[in-house]
Each structure stands twice: as C-alpha cells, then as structure tokens.
C-alpha cells in the first residue's frame, strides 16, 4: 500500500516536474552554453577563452553605468516602497475605518494598470510642456527638463515604481496584519506600551516573514526592471537611467545582436538576484 501511494504521488508530480525542467532548466543550461560563445546573429563559435564574455563585462562602461542605475533604484525605491506599504496596510487595517473596500481598491488599482499605459501617462505628465511643469509654474518655478537630466530622469522612474508597486506590496502586509493574534496587541497595551511601541515591538516582529517575502520579490523585480526604463526614459539621457535588463535587451535585439554577450549579462543578473535573496533570507531568518 505504501509503495502504491508513493507511485501515485510521483505520478501526479512527474508531469509538472518534467514541464518545469523543459521550460525552465533546459533553457537555463542553453543560455549558459550560449554565454560562452561569441559572434553575431546565428554565426556563433565558442570563445577563446571560454569566459571571454564575462571578462568583457568587467570593462564595459555602459554595463557599469546600468549596474549603478539599477542599484540606485534598488537602494532608494525598495525601502521607501515597503515602508509606505506597511504604513498604508496599518491604516487600512483599522476596524473603525470607513469605506475600507474603496480605499484598498483605490491604492491597489495602479498595480492593475498596464505598464505601457502608465508609462505613457508619466511621460506626458513630466514632458517639458506637461502637467507637472505647468503646476510648478504657478508657484514661479522654472520648467524642469525631467526626462532630459540624469538625476531627474531617475527620480521620475523611481516615482513611477512607487506609484505602481506600493499598493501591490500593501496587500501582502494587510494579509499579514489580519493574521496577527489580536491578543498580543491587547497584552502590549495592558502592559503600558504606546501605539509606536506596540507597532515596532509586537506587530513588526510578527510581520517578519512578509517583510522578507516582499523584500525578496521587490529586489528580484528591481534587478530585472525593464518596462519603466524602456517606456519612461528610453534609458536616457546617455544611459543615465538605463537598467541592466534594458541593456540586455539592447545588446540582444538592437545593436548588432550579440546573443552570447547578452546571455552572459543575463547570468550576471541571475547571480546578483540569488546573492541578494540569500542575504535577505539570512538576515530575516531569526529562528534558533
């Protein structure tokens, strides 16, 4: 009977496992082999030395710029987004709040908007003759070339990310807050803890798994960021706002397609994602 049950379990698992291997692991192996090759288009040969593409990345100034840009977005946008998401979730978890369904939907709604659509709206708003310059002009401020200067272009991109993804992460925190035992909150209040002490010392520790989850997902998404860079700023000016994934697309499909070099860059992104996810798991795991 035990053997039959084991075979039945494997029978259900095998199709899904084979599908994962075929659509995920086989392409990953093929991409790694491709990263060891050089040439243009389909005329590819193995590099000499094999790690030539990875060695070339170390001297690629554009890659270094896109790496810097991506980490700027990661270091600035992700913490602000997660803090805002936690604050909004705490406010919307208040049982005395009226119209909770409306507020939750309104804050989450940007996550359901098409990436292309909202990018076009932001490009229009922050154009030289757009709504934002018209609004600040009322206060006598000179028009700003938002998408034409490195720092302001990065600011617009970060603002777009915050607008779209804060509500998405808020849902995770809201779910976590609703699973917290209310007796722990009441016990803290009885012991004399104020609202901030209760939140920081009782609520946040119980949200640690959600914090780790959202941090890993946000880090993963930021390191692979493409749509906003492509649609909002086109990577400009002069690669000042381009992300690594955007550069990967440009290498692979635009400028004399070099699939081997692009595959090497994709593996660098994979390694960075894995390293940062591992660090976040180790930092967030407080089990004895």
Beta strands 43-46 and 37-40 are antiparallel
Mean predicted confidence (pLDDT) in 96-107: 87
Q: 3-state DSSP: the chain helix, strand, coil percent, rounded to 5?
A: 75, 5, 25
**Looking at residue 285, what is its pLDDT?**
62
Does residue 14 fall inside a structural domain?
no
Does residue 109 fall inside a structural domain?
yes
Q: Please say if the pLDDT value at position 169 is more than 90.
A: yes
Q: Please say if the pLDDT value at position 122 is more than 60.
A: yes
pLDDT digits (tens, 9 = 90+) for 220-258: 999 999 988 888 888 888 899 999 999 999 988 887 788
Encoding tokens for residue 44? 């590819």
How far, in Å, CA of 249 to CA of 231, rounded?
13
Q: Please say if the pLDDT value at position 287 is more than 60.
A: no
Does residue 34 fall inside a structural domain?
no
Mean predicted confidence (pLDDT) in 181-200: 84
Residue appearing with tokens 């749509």? 227
CA dist 93 → 52, 83, 127, 175, 176 (Å)? 54, 15, 38, 9, 10
Confidence of residue 157 (pLDDT cuts 50, 70, 90): very high
How far, in Å, CA of 260 to CA of 46, rounded?
9
How far, in Å, CA of 134 to CA of 142, rounded?
10
**Looking at residue 284, what is its pLDDT?**
66
Does residue 19 fall inside a structural domain?
no
In terms of residue numbers, what domain contains 91?
Answer: 61-284
Encoding tokens for residue 16? 């899904």
Which residues are 40's β-sheet partners? 43
φ and ψ of 45, to 5 deg: -135, 155
Prior bond of 157 cis (ω within 30°):
no
Neighbours of 220 (CB within 10 A): 16
pLDDT digits (tens, 9 = 90+) for 42-81: 778 888 888 899 999 988 999 999 999 999 999 999 999 9
CB-based burial label for 180 (10 Å; 0-12, 13-18, 19+): middle
The full length of the chain comes to: 288
Does residue 39 fall inside a structural domain?
no
How far, in Å, CA of 62 to CA of 81, rounded?
27
**Looking at residue 194, what is its pLDDT?**
85
pLDDT exceeding 70 applies to what percent of the chain?
98
Does residue 42 fall inside a structural domain?
no
**Looking at residue 282, what is its pLDDT?**
80
Total number of domains constituting the chain? 1
**Looking at residue 99, what is its pLDDT?**
87
**Looking at residue 171, what is its pLDDT?**
93
Residue appearing with tokens 């003759």? 129
Between residues 115 and 285, the one the model is more confident about: 115
**Looking at residue 182, what is its pLDDT?**
80
Encoding tokens for residue 61? 């100034």
Does residue 162 fall inside a structural domain?
yes
Q: By the 8 A CB rule, do 44 and 38 touch? A: yes
Does residue 33 fall inside a structural domain?
no
**Looking at residue 10, what is its pLDDT?**
85
Confidence of residue 120 (pLDDT cuts 50, 70, 90): confident
> Which residues make Cβ contacts (< 8 Å) with residue 178, sequence separation at least 6?
93
> Which residues make Cβ contacts (< 8 Å) with residue 123, sequence separation at least 6?
147, 231, 232
Which of 152, 156, 78, 80 has the alpha carbon at shortest distance from 120?
A: 156
Residue 172's domain is classified under what CATH number? Answer: 1.10.3720.10
* End-to-end CA separation in angstroms for the chain: 38
Q: For 98, which DSSP code?
A: T
Query: Coil, strand, or helix at residue 45?
Result: strand
How far, in Å, CA of 199 to CA of 151, rounded?
35
pTM of the model: 0.86
Calculate the average pLDDT of the chain. 88
């Amino acid at each position: 009977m035990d053997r039959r049950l084991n075979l039945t379990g494997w029978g259900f698992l095998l199709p899904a496992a084979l599908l994962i291997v075929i659509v995920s692991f086989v392409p990953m192996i093929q991409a790694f082999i491709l990263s060891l090759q050089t040439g243009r288009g389909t005329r590819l040969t193995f590099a000499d030395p094999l790690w030539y593409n990875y060695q070339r990345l170390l001297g690629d100034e554009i890659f270094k710029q896109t790496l810097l840009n991506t980490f700027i977005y990661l270091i600035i946008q992700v913490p602000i987004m997660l803090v805002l998401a936690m604050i909004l979730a705490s406010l919307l978890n208040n049982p005395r709040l009226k119209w909770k369904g409306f507020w939750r939907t309104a804050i989450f709604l940007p996550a359901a908007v098409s990436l292309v659509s909202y990018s076009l709206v932001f490009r229009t708003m922050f154009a030289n003759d757009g709504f934002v310059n018209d609004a600040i002009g009322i206060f006598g401020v000179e028009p700003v070339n938002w998408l034409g200067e490195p720092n302001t272009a990065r600011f617009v991109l970060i603002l777009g990310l915050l607008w779209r993804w804060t509500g998405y992460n808020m849902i995770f925190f809201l779910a976590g807050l609703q699973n917290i035992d209310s007796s722990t909150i009441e016990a803290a209040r009885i012991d004399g803890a104020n609202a901030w002490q209760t939140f920081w010392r009782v609520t946040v520790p119980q949200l640690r798994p959600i914090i780790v989850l959202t941090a890993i997902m946000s880090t993963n998404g930021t390191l692979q960021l493409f749509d906003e860079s492509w649609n909002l700023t086109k990577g400009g000016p002069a690669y000042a706002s381009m992300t690594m994934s955007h550069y990967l697309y440009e290498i692979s499909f635009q400028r004399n397609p070099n699939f081997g070099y692009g595959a090497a860059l994709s593996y660098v992104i994979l390694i960075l994602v894995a390293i940062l996810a591992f660090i976040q798991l180790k930092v967030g795991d407080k089990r004895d």
